[in-house]
Structure 1
């Protein structure tokens, strides 16, 4: 039985809602996202930018991947402090889309940065769960993620729904028929991912103090979110790296018995991955792998549907991971709903 089926925590309950919420979102947003895509094609900007923090910044990295690979749109990450503290947003933002991503839409630094960009002529697009928020009020285009209320400090369904909304926007902006078609399967793909049991990895992570999480291409932001959640819910020092970059220094940190979670992409970014896994196996690392059924031995292979669009496959991986994250936290005697020193809305200035 999948760990999320036990629904022991708010985190589990909310994560389990993500497949149905995402499917509903696609229906409710169909017209407005189609119109947004048409407007952005007509705008034909030289670049786009994202604005976010925390889990939303991992979603922003996912947006960068989508826009650069599907829309051929160079995309930069606009640091909130440039607008909120330095008030130095470039006038070159005039006419450029700024995709501001936030569950609450109420973080002071994001609001200040978005306002500063709007003063410079940026087209602010709010991808937000709370459509009554100040961020939604100041945006020209609002894309609701329709995740519903989320009370666990650890964001789950709002993150999944944000990824789906960003994918929808990229698909309409680019007119990518394959991606638009794949989105029709979102509910089923995420439902299968929610039912996948990744708890075979719990014994390897219960007592771990540090670990790596690897991804590449569409799964690198997923690895970033997974590492963030392990820090947040389990106090586990997890760091995310690209499987192509990890050999440039970070591999030095991995020794016998150290866990390495690998979230394999389903596209060309998986090139060279099996060889990289062999390198870790030779070092005695405890490999935990999703997306490579024939992973090198020894490895803990997690159940994962591989016959899906690579973008949906990446989103499915974080859906499955949330069940593992909850299980690891509980195994370590921690409450994933209320991590110490953290709040649902982070009010950075």
Structure 2
């Protein structure tokens, strides 16, 4: 897991170097879609889609709907998606339920885009457009470099759809920022995670997808019960569980949600929470990550910091992060 997470920068470089034509074609579909933009994914890939949803809605003004694969594979529903674009994100491209949903979306009138690591997969072969992420072999059960590369592919599509020069520049700066993250910077967080049995992870807007991914990794590698919430949602019912010493990791992006997130951090500390911010900013008791030049791409450096911390914490807890007892790499669901 540690080694593969460290290969994420190379994957992003390959993606941006080799797939400009596919990225441009997908961007044109998204920008000009006459119908709805829909998505399908499972696990870590679904967290990448969550980040895409927020960025698409805030930067392009286009709502994004996530469709549960069981709509097609179990309930056999017909979908009305005329003029739409349906994006599926999958490391393996092999799970029957997402393949079935892509077929249903196509029958319903949508153009289909498969964002996959395995370019010769059932999902890719059936799609109108394939965007390989070039992450290479990923043997650890925990997805790391494939998650980061999938997010980068989705962000590149939106950079093209919006013609946002700042985001395009930041994407090309992303690999260097990933490489610049110092492994030792996450040691303190790793030690904290190794000692806890439960925690919250939080982020607002595009960072929510990163928080969801972090919580999943805590569960599947270290066996820690972790829940992810929007920073705004955390201020409601979930705040009641924040007792003195309760760990809360907050991913803090330098975007329009910054002031509200900083206020939430103070509120969490006021009730006794042990808060660790992860940000490009130098925040008290936090981890400062290298900046890419855009808050959207900065989130992918945040998640690399988390991968390193949780991988180390898992080993400190006497577990093997590469081989969780109850999981396997490819899960085929219906």
For residues 234-257 of structure 1, the C-alpha deviation after alignment (integer angstroms, 9 at most, x for no partner) is 000000011111111001011111
Structure 1 residue 204 and structure 2 residue 189: aligned?
Answer: no
Structure 1 residue 73 and structure 2 residue 58: aligned?
Answer: no
Name the CA distance, whole Å, in 2 between partners of 1:156 and 1:292: 20
CA contact (8 A) 1:292 1:301 kept: no
Name the CA distance, whole Å, in 2 between partners of 1:262 and 1:145: 28
Query: How far off its partner does 1:335 sit?
Result: 0.3
Equivalent in the alignment of 1:240: 228
CA contact (8 A) 1:67 1:170 kept: yes
Equivalent in the alignment of 1:151: 139
Equivalent in the alignment of 1:324: 309
Query: How far off its partner does 1:286 sit?
Result: 1.3
For residues 120-154 of structure 1, the C-alpha deviation after alignment (integer angstroms, 9 at most, x for no partner) is 12211100000000000110011100000101000
Name the CA distance, whole Å, in 1 between partners of 2:119 and 2:234: 39
Name the CA distance, whole Å, in 2 between partners of 1:195 and 1:26: 25
**What number of residue pairs does the alignment pair up?**
334
Structure 1 residue 27 and structure 2 residue 12: aligned?
Answer: no
CA contact (8 A) 1:104 1:130 kept: yes
Query: How far off its partner does 1:107 sit?
Result: 0.6
CA contact (8 A) 2:277 2:287 kept: yes
Query: How far off its partner does 1:295 sit?
Result: 3.7
CA contact (8 A) 1:46 1:73 kept: no
2:72 to 70, 75, 83: 83
Q: TM-score, normalised by structure 1?
A: 0.92
Stretches of structure 2 lacking an aligned partner (at least 5 in a row): none
Equivalent in the alignment of 1:216: 204
| Pair 1:207–1:347, CA change in 2 (3 A) | same
Name the CA distance, whole Å, in 2 between partners of 1:316 and 1:331: 23
1:105 counterpart SS class: coil
Query: How far off its partner does 1:305 sit?
Result: 2.6
1:274 to 262, 265, 276: 262
Name the CA distance, whole Å, in 2 between partners of 1:140 and 1:75: 19
Name the CA distance, whole Å, in 2 between partners of 1:220 and 1:286: 20
Structure 1 residue 302 and structure 2 residue 292: aligned?
Answer: no
Name the CA distance, whole Å, in 2 between partners of 1:194 and 1:83: 44
CA contact (8 A) 2:252 2:277 kept: yes
Name the CA distance, whole Å, in 1 between partners of 2:5 and 2:280: 24
Name the CA distance, whole Å, in 2 between partners of 1:15 and 1:124: 29
What RMSD in Å do the two structures reach over aligned CA positions?
1.5
CA contact (8 A) 1:129 1:158 kept: yes
Equivalent in the alignment of 1:177: 165
1:345 counterpart SS class: coil
Equivalent in the alignment of 2:36: 47
2:318 to 321, 326, 333: 333
2:308 counterpart SS class: helix
Query: How far off its partner does 1:172 sit?
Result: 1.0
Stretches of structure 1 lacking an aligned partner (at least 5 in a row): 1-10
Name the CA distance, whole Å, in 1 between partners of 2:19 and 2:177: 19
